[in-house]
Amino acid sequence: MAGLARLRFTDDELDELTGQLAAVLGHAADVEALDIADLVARVHPMGLGDVTRPDEVRPSLDRDQVLAQAPVAESGRFRVPPVLGEAP
């Protein structure tokens, strides 16, 4: 899991997190044990649907302001470390 999230932990941290994750999994097991035969599956907890907006252009941000947030920028673009592998 830490590998997927590209995170590094010490052994002590891993011990602590393993305990926390076990609690989360225990909760999931509790939920799975419930009898939900009468319930209809829903995609979203809120009873909302079809929230859309019209296809109208709104102003974008100022580029200098945007790039000022980046650690490094070059030629109007974000400069990032060399990307190994490929886009998924």
Partner 1 sequence: MSPREPSIPASWELVVGLEVHVELATATKLFCGCANRFGDEPNTNVCPVCLGLPGSLPVVNARAVELAVRLGRALGCGVETSAFARKNYFYPDMPKNYQITQYDRPTNSDGRLELPDGSVVGIERAHIEEDTGKTTHMGSGGRIHDAVYSLVDYNRAGVPLVEIVTRPDIRTVEQARACAGELRAVMTAIGASDARMEEGSMRVDANVSVRPAGSGELRTRCEVKNLNSLRSLGRAVAYEARRHVGLWEAGERPRQETRHWDESGGRTISGRSKEEVEDYRYFTDPDLVPLTVDGAAVAEVDAALPELPAARRAGLAAAGVAAEAAALVVERGQDGLVLAAVAAGADPGLTVTRVVNDLALDDWSQVTPEGLAALAGMERAGKLSATQSKQVLAEMAATGGDPAAVAQRLGFKAMAEADLEAAVDEVIAAHPGEWARFCAGEGDDRKKMAGFLTGRVMRATRGRADGAAVNRLLTNRAIRP
| Residues 67 and 76 sit within 8 Å (Cβ to Cβ) | yes
Q: Looking at residues 5 to 24 of the shown chain, list those that interact with partner 1 (rule: CB under 8 A).
A: 6
* Furthest C-alpha separation in the chain: 59
Given a contact cutoff of 8 angstroms between Cβ atoms, the answer to whether 79 and 72 are in contact is yes
Q: Which of residues 29-48 bind partner 1 (CB under 8 A)?
A: 43-44, 46, 48
Residue 81 interacting with partner 1 (CB under 8 A): yes
| Residue 75 is a binding residue for partner 1 (CB under 8 A) | yes
Distance CA 80, CA 67 (A): 12
Q: Which is nearer to partner 1, 19 or 47 (CB)?
A: 47
Residues binding partner 1 (CB under 8 A): 3-4, 6, 43-44, 46, 48-61, 63, 66-67, 74-88
